[in-house]
A and B are shown apart, each in its own frame.
Chain A
């Protein structure tokens, strides 16, 4: 799997565009997961330098991608704090003009698969909800990174950015290296994103 911010570097159209309503750590986690999936899947993450916490409003980009670039496959990431139920996601997509023909919760309240139509285009969306808690300071992917640290090092790290950064510095590694060097068993336990990518990887032959 290749995760790229710049399509020139891979030289072909991607398989999925990553839409994120979260912070900046998703890309680093995704980069760390690249080698865990030895396949030719390309995830395009054209992340803006200014990251907005927009949650489910990320779906609004689906319409632009389909109408302007004829691009129809998405991996949507947002934090649990924005999530009440997936029926809300379906409603938003309906409002955007996407007729949902099939949806399936791969993992209850964590991973959703959607197949729908926008005009004549078939749209495929995998939605992955990061984090476990719905309130508090350190929701989202921070919690998952802290969980990986706990599983791997047996150390309980506070879930805020500063504490995680400090711990990783003490280990002389960054988030990408942490993820890259962790075993599949821990990654599956810690990251919803890992389970989502497994699902995409398994289903990709059926999609194309």
Chain B
């Protein structure tokens, strides 16, 4: 399953899109602050059931966006009106509308299909996920919020799944490759990681006592690999991450069978993307430069991995060039 296009009307700071946003298997969004990068992630996050309860944050997805990530005000542009979010999946058009009272309606190929059963919807989407709320996972830029991942990790059934898949060892191994420590596995009950010393001794460190970037990476890897969502949405991907960790996480994301959309302000992420070109089909890796007109129309350009490389080779910063899209 792949969301190949997204069109946003009257959602958060975006009045409309100049043209539908074309997404690939691995899409990186760049652009100035307040251009609408997070809004794009949130629009994707709520698909296809905004009222579904997020298993990680234990709230309806619309409530996560409205109340946890934002002030609690209506999510419509200018705080008033009806939001329209249109998605293209498998050449079908899915449209969500959300009114002032957070009433949600779902249209499929322009037909009102609000009553569609999950089973039929899953068939239409051709998704592998059991539960439609697991279709998308949003990784917020707020590190405190990431601690809530622990609630899910500690649940017995989820913990057993992580252990069965060996994710507690895999995550420790990936982290060890980009830090100076040797970590071997993670004890999920207490969220402690086993650190091995060169003399063969070992001890345990609470994950929260590690650096911020590592805390985040461990939680994300455990939860995401166990949930196996179709789409991973990662806001401010680079927060607290050394370029070594950025590369390790990009490689891990590129190797998975999922669609990835992440936002970044970091030039390191753009340079490291070139190092994972070999992991993905070249057409599957794109950078979208977002810009916004004065009247809040979202404009974008798609850069392929080769075009990104051409710009970086010429010492051009793609983050700064996006202004050309809206300058007269």
Interface residue ranges, A against B (CB under 8 Å): 5-8, 11-13, 17, 19-21, 46-52, 54, 57-61, 63-65, 68-69, 71
Contacts and interface: CB of A to CB of B under 8 A. Distances in A.
A47 B267 CA distance: 11
A64 B323 contact: no
Contacts of A58: 313-315
A64 B307 contact: yes
B320 A60 contact: no
Count class of interface residues, chain B = 20 to 34
17 contacts: A5-B320, A12-B327, A12-B328, A17-B316, A46-B321, A48-B267, A48-B316, A50-B312, A52-B315, A54-B315, A60-B314, A61-B310, A61-B316, A64-B303, A68-B307, A69-B301, A69-B325
Given A64-B307, A68-B301, A68-B307, A21 B323 contact: no
Interface of B: 32, 267, 271, 301, 303, 307, 310-317, 320-321, 323-325, 327-328
Contact of B321 (A21, A49, A69): A69
Contacts of B327: 7, 11-13
A13 B327 CA distance: 5
Nearest to B307: A64
A61 B308 CA distance: 9
Nearest to A26: B315
Contacts of A5: 320
Given A5-B320, A60-B314, 8 more contacts: A6-B320, A8-B323, A13-B327, A20-B314, A46-B321, A51-B315, A61-B313, A64-B307
Contacts of A52: 312-313, 315
A141 B320 CA distance: 25
Given A12-B327, A49-B267, A64 B311 contact: yes
Contacts of B313: 52, 54, 57-58, 60-61
A47 B315 contact: yes
B314 A47 contact: no
Nearest to B310: A60
Given A6-B320, A46-B321, A69-B321, A19 B303 contact: no
B310 A46 contact: no
B249 to A, nearest CB: 19
